[in-house]
Amino acid sequence: MGSHAAGTKVPVTRSKMEIDTLLGAHGALRRIVGEEPGLAVVVFEVKGRRVCFRMPLPARESFLKDPRRPWKTRKNDEVTRAWEQACREKWRCLLLTIKAKFVSVESQVETFEEAFLAHIVTPTGQTVGQLALPAVAEAYRTGAMPPLLPPGPAGASR
């Protein structure tokens, strides 16, 4: 995994705790940091908005073969080590992603809504990203793109 978290030794439990602490420090009184099989889930409420990150976690079975020697099956302890390392890296990346978004908001690079837009939960229970991304993909597929810039004020010359 070519990331800032590659090779991390930080346990998953510590990354989860750091995410929870980070969210609390930014005013999230309601928050969940957890997982279900194959999926990391972070849900929190800040500024009257519910935000949900759902991050796929690697399947243990995907580490049965050694990528350097695909004809060789790894031993059980090697599979466990490789899988646990991949999980540590994914959780660390999620922490860094959320932290970077808060830094962006604090630095006034963007608003909270802009930084977390794709992950804001709508009244339907879907995130903005789940609703918008298919429409964006369709726009690119059909070539029916909206203008790059919105129209200026009424009566403005172009």
Residue-wise pLDDT for 10-19, tens only, equals 999 999 999 9
**pLDDT higher for 17 or 133?**
17
Residue 82: alpha-carbon gap to chain centroid? 22
| Phi then psi dihedrals of residue 25, to 5 deg | -65, -20
Domain that holds residue 30: 12-138
Is 107 a member of any domain? yes
Mean pLDDT value across residues 105-124:
96
Q: Is residue 50 part of a domain?
A: yes
* CA dihedral sign of residues 31, 34, 35, 41: positive
Residue linked to tokens 């989860």 = 16
Q: Which two tokens stand for residue 4?
A: 């800032």
User: What local confidence, expressed as pLDDT, does residue 109 receive?
Assistant: 98
Distance separating alpha carbons of residues 117 and 10, to the nearest angstrom: 29
Interval 79-114: pLDDT, tens: 899 999 999 999 999 999 999 999 999 999 999 999
Length of the chain (residues): 158
Q: How confident is the model at residue 56 (pLDDT cuts 50, 70, 90)?
A: very high
Task: Please indicate, yes or no, if residue 69 is contained in any of the structural domains.
Answer: yes
Q: How far apart are CA 51 and CA 37, in angstroms?
A: 21
Q: How many domains does the chain have?
A: 1
Q: Tell me the C-alpha to C-alpha distance, in Å, between residue 14 and each of 27, 92, 97, 111.
A: 20, 9, 16, 28
Q: pLDDT tens digit string along 58-75?
A: 999 888 888 788 778 888
Contact 3, 89 (CB under 8 A): yes
Q: Does any domain span residue 44? A: yes
pTM of the predicted structure, to 2 decimals = 0.84
- Reply yes or no on whether the pLDDT at 158 is more than 70: no
Is residue 32 in a domain? yes
Residue 130 lies inside a defined structural domain of this protein: yes
Residues 35-61, mean pLDDT to the nearest whole number: 95
| Residue 144: inside a domain | no
Query: Is residue 146 a part of any domain in this protein?
Result: no
